[in-house]
Amino acid sequence: MSGIRTRAAGHGEMLVWSLLIGTSFPTAEYLVRDAHPLPLTGVRFLIAALLLAPVATRVAINPRRLIIWAILGALLAVFFWAQFQALRTVGSIELSLLYLLSPPGTAILAWYANREYLHPVPLVVFALVLYLVIQYWILPAPTDLVALLARPGSQVYLLGCAAVIGYAVLSRGAILRNWLPAAAATTTFWSLLFAGVLLCLVGVTRLPEVAQWHWDHWWRLVYLAVFTSILSYWLMQRALQKLHPAIVVAYGAVVPLWVALLPF
């Protein structure tokens, strides 16, 4: 019974995670009108890390932990960089179709790296149902997958999907091997800190756009830092301790459903 409750809690955490991400879209769209999304996300992550520091820095650190956290942060940075590059030429809903490749890829890597087995049938059914919903309900017209995969933006986004896979598998594997502490806040802090620094470095030439913001931009950025950075990644880290990483990654495909259902 305790195992069922633990898994149910993990599913609940990821459902809240997907809702937080889905409801953040209007705020994010408002901000990117006045600043490039790359440094914008970097500053958001740094604000989140600053707010989380008093709680997360109580855990002892060592070189191995720092290296793993740096890798996790780099994987986060790669995903967001790839996503923003892809969005220049490919629509966000179309990218969600490509994201459906991430859960099976996570299952394969988790078995190889962590020896975690997940029965493929539920995962395949989940991906198929979401594929049909996105293709025939959310999108105005069905998308040709072959043509979609051939677009340069799609190929860049697949690199981002690979980063998501690596993040989930490494994060859970490091906890299973006791390389990282089970404290979700600590891994969230260090991952966001390293990712924020990398994204700001990549987008350093666009940082002046952020410096010119007014207070109405900054409170929205703090909102995103708290709810779609601190809280969302904290929920993900907690869920990775309870669920197979492929299941955690699969919840990312639920986000377009919230975007379509909620009255934005």
Whether the predicted pLDDT of 59 surpasses 70: yes
Which of the two residues, 158 and 92, has the higher pLDDT score? 158
Most distant pair of Cα atoms in the chain: their distance? 54
The DSSP call for residue 179 is S
**What is d(CA 100, CA 4) in angstroms, rounded to the nearest whole number?**
26
Q: Which candidate, 253, 250, 75, 240, places its Cα nearest to that of 160?
A: 75
Higher per-residue pLDDT: 7 or 31: 7
Q: Which residue has the higher pLDDT, 253 or 197?
A: 197
pLDDT band at 234 (very low <50, low <70, confident <90, very high): very high
Instruction: Produce one character per residue of 128-141: b if its CB has 16 or more CB atoms within 10 Å, e if not.
Output: eebeeebbeebbee
- Record the pTM: 0.90
User: Which of the four pLDDT bands, split at 50, 70 and 90, describes residue 264?
Assistant: low
Quote the mean pLDDT of the chain: 89
Q: By the 8 A CB rule, do 90 and 217 touch?
A: no
pLDDT bucket at 1, cuts 50 / 70 / 90: very low
d(CA 40, CA 18): 21
Q: What are 174-182's contacts with CB under 8 Å, separation 24+?
A: 174/68, 175/240, 175/241, 176/114, 179/64, 179/65, 179/68, 180/65, 180/68, 180/69, 181/59, 181/65, 182/241
pLDDT band at 230 (very low <50, low <70, confident <90, very high): very high
* Range 45-57 average pLDDT: 91
Tell me which of 97-106, 203-212, 227-236 is least confident. Answer: 203-212
At 216, list the tokens: 């109405």
Please, are residues 118 and 247 in contact by the beta-carbon 8 Å criterion?
Answer: yes
Residues 44 and 51: their CA atoms lie apart, in Å, by: 11
3-state secondary structure of 177: coil
pLDDT in tens, 130-172: 888 888 877 777 788 888 888 889 999 999 999 999 999 999 9
Does residue 190 register a pLDDT over 80? Answer: yes
Domain residue ranges of the chain, discontinuous segments joined by +: 2-261
